[in-house]
Chains A and B, each alone.
Chain A
């Protein structure tokens, strides 16, 4: 396959970026999308040009490091996959592909397609944990959890923190990400002790990072590569409301 790529190039956070055209040839349908970019970068190095910077690590859809807005969609045209799991068989010869970084106030561009997602770390630091120190735990089976709750908590916990929800939301809201962690921990008995403080602090931090509000468009759920459900946002809203009314702080 031969493809025309229009890729966002930006030297660093302080300069303006623009779309630059590249042609890449001999693309096999078995290549992953990032392998196609590898080929392009190899060509650029050969021509003494600077390769395109993009974040990636595990290349199996679990670390959450890859991103990319491809033809106007977070992680590209397929649903339920990250960019690193997207394969070129989803495209055809002669296609033009637009490749841009996540765009959101909370995710400033570092270079080209690489953005800074440390806001997500700070939100977790605001309360996305159970305060249990090493060595203080009781026997694991002393805390039975109904299979239903355990499964729901697991589904929420599969969030990989990639930021596709933010990138795809017209308000750049981080509600799906935050609610996934709030849900996981509020569904489990271990997390209930700190549930009120957790939801209040995490939402406060989310707002401080410059993420927008949720207007229930549901785009995040559709583009989430891990299928994190909107139900989590509803649950977080309930938790937040209850905490606001009943918190003793």
Chain B
């Protein structure tokens, strides 16, 4: 009774995409102008899709809740973007990138999508360079690369620790170019409140102008949700404060299935929580793991002394340090994938070896590579024979500064400690969500005409995303996938004509939105929105975070229901709905988080296996590694909304692996 068809093209894996492109339906240039496309979100996926579709001739409207499309949270990505260019001559290829991504995702991604991603990855770099994105270069003037977790080749292109910023500003410049031409209409400070579905097709959205509170209707022949992930369910995450799941959640409630909601990525290298006032967490790029070694003390008494502030990392002699990633995973060492590194940190901290006052931190130490990798090389280059330790330190520091200077400065600002001198302290934090709206090969959801791109969809990363792959996927979807696949649907829309917004469906959607907003500004509650959000976040972190179990998840579901009940009674939103009111914006978002959180737990509870970011304590190997159950769970869980407070229906998309053999993931 499954309703899902992934529409994967026939043929061998390396021919699927090229054959598809040669045969997909097209829209003739003269017809494109008359077709309206709505793009929600202006991050890498949204901006690149909007610009590319406008260049092709479609009439595009773009919405973002920030004051400018350049603020989208893609901007905060630090480390880099993967591409199978093989500029390093180290054996990289499309197949290897495809293989690494499938394996990194713990064999829970769709082969055809991932192969396509690897195929277009090289074009992304070409496109960005042509736009003037200033990637790092070597002295010959050619592009430089670095390594990232989960791979053994150097395929990551970067722009210092600000790769996301540079790529986003590139996409923003392309978007700006099309706005200037009039082919894109940009709506800043607008939030999508609902999708309008007419006769089973997505035909528009209801948006709220965040400056004056006006509820506005927009129609289109297709709606693209490029609205990012839902990490802020956890309250504390590395996501921006405004990042939210409302667009995706509204789509779910209008019939789009939600894929693998329990797959969340906990990033291993973030700055630890400092107190109750904490509003968000800050990531330290994974690229730091190229040169930083992760360790905790071997002896418990040393760990306790550090926790009590009686010792620092520098007081622990080399032989008393436990470089636990190098010990457990000699082949990949500090560059194991994120889920593995995060769990290993939690394991050490839970065992009592944490290195800050809360016991929830491990060291990320640059001293060794600073002195003996970079210091020595620099000394040799400068002809200094038998350099002193101090000379090595000074020379190495300059190199490290050039590579990671902005990250070290950021760390110093937040913690007040100097990472050149004492080891950084890090701890895992919620960072990315692999789950998202279920989409077929065309990136279309189960609602015809409604698409999801970038982090908002579930498609390419399986149960765990590799570093530097989010930027790749966002831009692949926007620049190189949707411009082709959308034609398949829109070719049948050329006779539709302008879609009116005075239909009963628009009336109904607008009415629901208005009622909800009216409720918030008139409810005589006693507790702030953040009060509920923080409580929800704590439940999710404790019971649906790095490790999950049946008992905890069942409790979480009950507790979330309780908070939700209380929220709708007690929430207090000051101010009015006819002016700029950030508390009201937050309330509408948290209301959706309170529902999504339950679906995440439901999904986590049903998946009786461990895979990637989803670690169920009941399912682990003797060494504490994730234990998959391919026989029963090699599928995408796609959840269908059945009504408020009603159990959603599970649909399964069986994953077929024709090109990669399923084995237990090993980084040893």
Contacts and interface: CB of A to CB of B under 8 A. Distances in A.
B51 interface: yes
A247 interface: no
A158 B165 contact: yes
Q: What bracket does the count of chain A residues touching chain B fall in?
A: 35 or more
B358 interface: no
B52 to A, nearest CB: 4
A185 interface: yes
Contact of A59 (B142, B174, B240, B530): B240
B416 A89 contact: yes
B279 A34 contact: yes
B179 interface: yes
Contacts of A86: 413
Given A132-B130, A158-B162, A118 B240 contact: no
Contacts of A38: 277, 279, 530
Interface in A130-162: 130-141, 143-147, 150, 153-154, 157-158, 160-161
A82 to B, nearest CB: 10
B528 A46 contact: yes
Given A80-B409, A85-B413, A85-B414, A50 B166 contact: no
A231 interface: no
Given A121-B70, A145-B137, A58 B240 contact: yes
Contact of B574 (A49, A80, A125, A126): A49
Interface stretch (A24-32, A91-99, A235-243): A24-32
Nearest to B65: A57
Contact of A136 (B130, B159, B279): B130
A209 interface: no
Contacts of A55: 67
A65 B68 CA distance: 9
Given A39-B277, A140-B125, A141-B143, A57 B71 contact: yes
B136 interface: yes
B487 interface: no
Nearest to B579: A12
Interface string B408-443: 011001101000000000000000000000000000
A146 B141 contact: yes
A137 B132 contact: no
Interface string B270-285: 0000110111101100
Given A87-B416, A134-B51, A60 B282 contact: yes
A176 interface: no
Contacts of A246: none
A145 B68 contact: no
B119 to A, nearest CB: 14
Contacts of B416: 30, 87, 89
Contacts of A173: none
Given A121-B70, A145-B141, A129 B129 contact: no
Contacts of A49: 574
Contact of B68 (A30, A31, A120, A184): A120
B483 interface: yes
A157 B167 CA distance: 11
A209 B137 CA distance: 36
A16 interface: no
A101 interface: no
Nearest to A112: B580
A125 to B, nearest CB: 4
Contact of A31 (B141, B241, B275): B275
A129 B173 contact: yes
Interface centre among A61, A140, A160 (most CB of B within 10 A): A140
A128 interface: yes
Contact of B143 (A85, A132, A140): A140
A46 B583 CA distance: 13
B387 interface: no
B652 interface: no
Interface residues of B, number: 83
Interface of A is mostly: loop
A62 B68 contact: no
A63 B71 contact: yes
A105 interface: no
Interface in A149-189: 150, 153-154, 157-158, 160-161, 184-185, 188
B301 to A, nearest CB: 27
Contacts of A157: 133-134, 159, 166, 169
Contacts of A118: 67-68, 188
Given A87-B414, A134-B52, A185-B132, A116 B176 contact: no
Contact of A190 (B48, B52, B129, B283): B129
A233 B416 CA distance: 33
Interface string B570-589: 00101100011111000000
A35 B277 contact: yes
Contact of B174 (A12, A85, A134): A134
Contact of A28 (B166, B275, B483): B275
Contacts of B530: 38, 42
A161 to B, nearest CB: 6
A141 B142 contact: yes
Nearest to B137: A150
A156 to B, nearest CB: 8
A121 B483 CA distance: 25
A219 interface: no
B180 A63 contact: no
A177 B72 CA distance: 19
Contacts of B279: 32, 34-35, 38, 59
Interface centre among B129, B172, B409, B575 (most CB of A within 10 A): B129
Interface string B536-554: 0000000000000000000
Contact of A56 (B126, B131, B241, B583): B241
A234 interface: no
Nearest to A190: B132
A210 interface: no
B479 interface: yes
Sorted nearest first, the 5 A-B pairs with minimum C-beta distance are: A144-B141, A129-B173, A137-B130, A154-B134, A137-B126
21 contacts: A30-B274, A32-B279, A44-B574, A45-B528, A53-B581, A58-B76, A58-B241, A59-B240, A59-B282, A60-B76, A61-B410, A62-B165, A65-B66, A65-B67, A81-B413, A118-B188, A128-B176, A133-B55, A146-B137, A150-B136, A161-B68
Interface of B: 48, 51-52, 55, 66-73, 75-76, 85, 87, 123, 125-143, 159-160, 162, 164-166, 169, 172-174, 176-177, 179-180, 186, 188, 211, 238, 240-242, 274-275, 277-280, 282-283, 409-410, 413-414, 416, 479-480, 483, 528, 530, 572, 574-575, 579-583
Interface of A: 11-12, 28, 30-32, 34-35, 38-39, 42, 44-46, 48-51, 53, 55-65, 78, 80-81, 85-87, 89, 110-111, 114, 116-118, 120-121, 124-126, 128-141, 143-147, 150, 153-154, 157-158, 160-161, 184-185, 188, 190-191
